[in-house]
Each structure stands twice: as structure tokens, then as C-alpha cells.
Structure 1
Amino acid sequence: MTGSEESPSFRLAYVPGVTPAKWARIWNERLPDIPLTLVQVPAAEAQDVLRAGEADAGLVRLPVDRTFFSAIPLYTETTVVVVPKDHLITAVDEVTLADLADEVLFHPLDDVFDWDRPPGEPAFERPATTPDAIELVAANVGLLVVPQSLARLYHRRDLTYRPVTDAPQSSVALSWPEEATTDLVEDFIGIVRGRTVNSTRGRTRPAAEQEQKPSEPKGARQKPAPKGAGRTARARAAGGGTRTAGSKQAPKRGKPRRRS
């Protein structure tokens, strides 16, 4: 747990393209007394931030060092190529890497893909960041292959994108140092996995939420009283008795017969 015992808090790192707003909202609803601090970090620096203890957990791009970190994969993104709106590629719904072979493709220094060999023709230089590469695409200097979330994040009116069907993909995961799996980390794990507030997994719920009515012992439920039992009990209370096996029943009185 971060912070003091009297004033705990939770710091969540996240990389560009990831939107933690939904999970942050659920956190604030469930744990209003524990502040959640969001820390945006470059994708390449996310693991260093977590190693240094500057965040308790992070929404990061895989892969991570699994000898040090635990990770829960959340989703895998579609890969797209960002192009000017008047580019020929906009005439089709999707492309392949072979379609980009003759295009100049930027490979920024913060590229999230681990290419064996970047596709397309190499640019005259590597932009420092993805936003820098986006600016060059807008200048009609080349194209850029990125996860779809980054194309949306750095959207410009003069640019658009198309899916690249056979390109590598980027997966996003919740990750944290395995030896620092705190109660608050467990709380956030429950949120991203969609557990309800009353889930029995993860942290122990407060005692007030655990109180339940004691269950009846097996077989202790009483059978419903037979029909007429209530009238018999009232008759006894009034001083009357019930007929036993040996008692005679008074003859029934019928209507008198009419004389002829």
C-alpha cells in the first residue's frame, strides 16, 4: 500500500492510447476515501516507472518482464496505417504490408511494435516521437503504422487511417511488480476484471457487508400445519375437546318427516 496507513492512495500509470477513465470512475465510486492518481508515461518507460515504485500498477503495452512483473492481458488492438485523406489507400477498406512496400514509412523512436524489419521504404530520419511522425504524415512525407488507439489519440482533420490486416498487433495489460501485490492492487484487478462490489474474490469485504442472517439448520424448517389445525387449537382453548377413537359421535339431526 502506498502512502501512510492513515492516508492510503493508489497511483496508476498508463501509456498513450490507453483510456483508464472507465476504471477510474468505478474506483472512485467504490473507494471514495482512497484517491486514485493517474500518471501518463511513455510506453518505453512504463516498466522503469513501476520498477522504481513511482506507480503501484500500470496499464502498459506487452511484452513485460514476467520474471519481475505480473500481468493481466486486457485487449489487443487493431493495427492501422495513417495516411493523408487524399492518399490512394483511402480508396480501399484495408491493406496488407505488401501494399505498403513502396511507401515511405516512419519508424519513430517510441514505436510500440517490435519489428523484425520495418515495412516499406525507410524514411530519411527516425522521428523522435509518434506525434512528430504524425506531423510528417500530414506534410505528405510518408506514412505511419500504429495501433488504432494512437491514430485516434493524434487525430487530425487532414488525416485518416486504414487497418493493416497482417501487421503485428499491440496488446494492453494491467501490470505490477509481483512482490508488490497489495490490497489496493487486488481492488483494481477486481475492477478491470468486472467483478462486482460484493465479489468474494480479491479483498475481504468490510464486516458490515459480510453480515448475513443465520441460516436454519438442515431439516429445521417446520412443515405447514394440517388443514383445520387452527380450529382445533381454538376449540381446546375454549374448553372443548376433540373426539377420541373410543368416543361416540352424537347422531345427526335431520329434518322431521311430514306426516301423511
Structure 2
Amino acid sequence: MTELLLEGRTAVVTGAAGGIGLAVAQLLHEHGAAVVLADLNEAGAQAAATSIGDRAIGIGCDVTDESSVQGLVDETVRRTGRLDVFVNNAGVTRDASLRKMTVADFDLVMAVHLRGTWLGLRAASAVMRDAGSGSIINMSSLSGKSGNPGQTNYSAAKAGIVGMTKAGAKELAHKNVRVNAIQPGLIRTAMTEAMPPEVFAEREAAIPMKRAGEAAEVAGAALFLASDLSSYMTGAVLEVGGGRLM
């Protein structure tokens, strides 16, 4: 039997009603963690938790709202008694060229990715500091490394998450709380499969491994960072992109 890397621990994953977030929650659960799936779509989070089974809880959460994020952390500790892993995964896109992007669409993407990640980092680390251990995983993107046309908001936000990860890692290392980031590339999700087929094919062809990734492959990196296998890693940024942007 495969060793359970997270047995007895509790993990929170935001944006977990589907896509990469759900895949992360499923894999952490498979490795023994109690998982809290948080999403703005509360019904979706609860349905996803039901699909996972025992030790899975679905909670509604608006990651841009301070009290909602604090409530998520408080409810997690109340119901499970601890908080060991927090995955800041929630995200949105509002793509448009510079000339066509509205201020509202810029602000929304910044709020969800940057403020949302910061609120999760702050609330989760407060619990973990007191416990003397913990792993926080922030979801960036290769868009934050290279920039994508039509994504000045998203690319900037995802780049900002890298800086936030490194600053948080430096603040929390002495408390044995680790903060790392993942930068997925082109991953098959509902979001990317909504792209025009010719655009998807063009981006896939530019990847050295000649294929898009699967959500489960991003989840594998999250499991590694959540577990003791990465116990001497903090402030790291793992690229999961099939060799894109090497």
C-alpha cells in the first residue's frame, strides 16, 4: 500500500468546486488528509465534497472578503481541530486587450488573485505560526512568468503571487511555516477548453512535451509541497508546464 503522506492532517483548498482545485483536494484526501473545499459556489463545493466522501467538507467562501476568509479558517479549525495545509487556488479570468479591458475587469482579477491569496496567507499562517508548522501553497501561473497578450490583469496578478510567496516565506520560515508556489502551464480544464480550438492547438504545439497537462499533474506538485517530502523547501516556485518557457 502506498504511504499516506498527509494522514491525520487537515487541508483547505480554495476554488475547489472543480478544475485544478478539485483535483488537488481529491489527491490530498487520497493521502489521508481531511479536506475543506472552499468556493464562491457553495453548492458546488458541497457537491464536490460529497463526491470525495468522508473527511471532506464543502464551504462557501468569497476569497476577496476578509471576514469570509477568516470564517473559512475558523470553521476549519472548529470542525477538524487543526490546519496544516492551505492551498490558495481560487482564480478568475477576464481577458481583453489593453484597449478593451475595463477597470472593473482589471480590479476583479487583482482582487481574486492578489487580495484573495494574501487574505488566505494571512489567516492560515496565524494558525500555523501558533502550531509551529504548516504548508501554504499559492497558485501562480506561467502567465506570470512570460505574460500573455490579452491578460495584462491575469499575468500581473500571477506574477505578484510569486513575490508575495517569497516575502511570506521569509516572514514565516522561523516559525516552521513553509510558503511555496506552483506555476501551471497549459492545463486541460473547463477554462482552457473554452479557448478557440486553433488557439489551444497553437499553444499546445509550442510545449516541448507536445501536450497539455492534466489537473491531476498539478495536484501532484501540490501534494509534494503539502507533505514532508518538501520539508526543506520554502519560497520555491515549481513550474508544471511540460517544459514550456525553459
- Where relative contact order (Cα < 8 A, 6+ residues apart) is larger, the structure is 1
Whichever structure has more strand as a proportion of its residues is: 1
Q: Which is higher, the Rg of structure 1 or of structure 2? A: 1
Q: TM-score, normalised by structure 2?
A: 0.29
Q: TM-score, normalised by structure 1?
A: 0.28
Whichever structure has more helix as a proportion of its residues is: 2
